[in-house]
Structure 1
């Protein structure tokens, strides 16, 4: 029978959720300057995306000792139950409202050594990260724009562990943390041709966390006035500590997105 170290699987489950979702201070991965205006003058962009990120850092939960982890995207994908990531923007003249939602659920099952305390252990980890902010274009022309941006990001990390069989049969425990960070920075894009553009962002802040940052750069292609796509690279970091709960990680990897404009 295969055995597995319980603290290790708990920590991997928790950390894995944020590498897919972390959300973090996300920005639309598509151009806003070239979208089609509605009659009201508003421009809207909705962009689901996928982030194949690995994760490294230190965490502590359930009163366990602090654990250092370094997991690639393949380790995370093996235990993924569900993930949803999408961002949206409403833009009017130089002003913009940006929202982003990330939800990831990870599940893992393992056997304990000798099966004395439990025959098996189930671990479920859920992470939600949501960003809402506003921007203003300090530079803008027909080829693109550069915005100053400010907003609030809310994190929620929850892990549930349950024991089946053995001396701990029926025992279930959970550990969680929820916090909010204020973030500021720059966002923008620039069209080299009517179809090809570059987009990027850099945000930093804190509040509940000591530091919370997000940077990214992508190259996009506009198929028509309705659909565009982008591929790039993104890295985020967050350092949160409170009452024995430690979440100090850096996540980075390639990102792919498809944007719909209306």
Structure 2
């Protein structure tokens, strides 16, 4: 049932993009600029677990486990955007598979965290030039998480503790970005946003430089993302930050 609800929410977000784009494009008479940009994000990961109560089995008396996962097992990201004279839309999808094993005082941990992050938003551009100046955007940030943490005590007399957490979260996202056209080929975009709703709050900031080619642009930048999630009495604080690079196909 939970999987059905997750897929339903994700499908609703995709449907919103499919509805918003043609409507906004029709309102401006067509002639939109589109970009599809797969990109890589070499993010440093920090994942803190705060359990509702100490694990059973004599593993530890702590409820806080800092940096329990800090290794990426797999990642995929893609950004799609359409822009008219004053209105636009964008969607962004990120998949991060995190897995790690660590030795702690009195116990060993094996952790696995799969995170799917989907954003869809409408953009308002009050300036006269496309892809320049300040823009405001609002939309949905959807996060789907599957987490498993296994705590194995050093003392064989105690049992292994397993913490499972899987849930989906839908937030209202609001943000602003500013694009500075340095030259005909070079530009830089600063973005900051936050979201609230099902999560305990998410914060995102990035700076991306673009170098325009004949049919696209190289993208280089840095991104920081902080996500706080609570599921089944356990709170996960996930922070990701690092350089990113991609190529935007424009048409």
Q: What TM-score, normalized by structure 2, do the two folds share?
A: 0.70
- Listed one character per residue, the Cα deviations across residues 13-45 of structure 1 (whole Å, up to 9, x for unaligned) are xxxxxxxxxxxxxxxxxxxxxxxxxx9412211
**Does 1:138 pair with 2:126?**
yes
Q: Is the 8 A contact 1:86 1:101 kept in 2?
A: yes
Give 3-state SS (helix, strand or coil) of 1:139's partner. coil
Aligned to 1:156: 144
Q: Which moved more, 1:184-193 or 1:100-109?
A: 100-109
Aligned to 1:246: 235
| 1:66 CA displacement | 2.5
| Cα distance between partner residues in 1 of 2:47 and 2:112 | 20
Aligned to 2:64: 66
Aligned to 2:33: 43
Q: Is the 8 A contact 2:118 2:143 kept in 1?
A: yes
| 1:193 CA displacement | 1.0
Alignment of 1:1-262 (within 5 A): 40-56=30-46, 58-60=48-50, 64=55, 65-69=63-67, 76=71, 80-107=72-99, 124-141=112-129, 144-160=132-148, 174-224=164-214, 226-262=215-251
Q: Is the 8 A contact 1:66 1:246 kept in 2?
A: no
| Cα distance between partner residues in 2 of 1:212 and 1:123 | 22
Give 3-state SS (helix, strand or coil) of 1:141's partner. coil
Give 3-state SS (helix, strand or coil) of 1:93's partner. coil
Q: In 2 relative to 1, CA 88–109 (structure 1 residues): closer, same or farther, beyond 3 Å?
A: same
Q: Is the 8 A contact 1:140 1:146 kept in 2?
A: no
Q: In 2 relative to 1, CA 204–107 (structure 1 residues): closer, same or farther, beyond 3 Å?
A: closer
Q: In 2 relative to 1, CA 51–151 (structure 1 residues): closer, same or farther, beyond 3 Å?
A: same
| Cα distance between partner residues in 1 of 2:46 and 2:150 | 26
Tell me which of the two structures has the higher relative contact order, counting C-alpha pairs closer than 8 angstroms and 6 or more residues apart.
1
Q: In 2 relative to 1, CA 61–87 (structure 1 residues): closer, same or farther, beyond 3 Å?
A: farther
- The runs of 5 or more residues in structure 1 that have no matched partner are 1-38, 112-120
How many residues were matched structurally? 212
Q: What TM-score, normalized by structure 1, do the two folds share?
A: 0.67
Aligned-CA RMSD value: 3.6
| Cα distance between partner residues in 1 of 2:73 and 2:145 | 16
Q: Is the 8 A contact 1:55 1:70 kept in 2?
A: no
| 1:174 CA displacement | 3.8
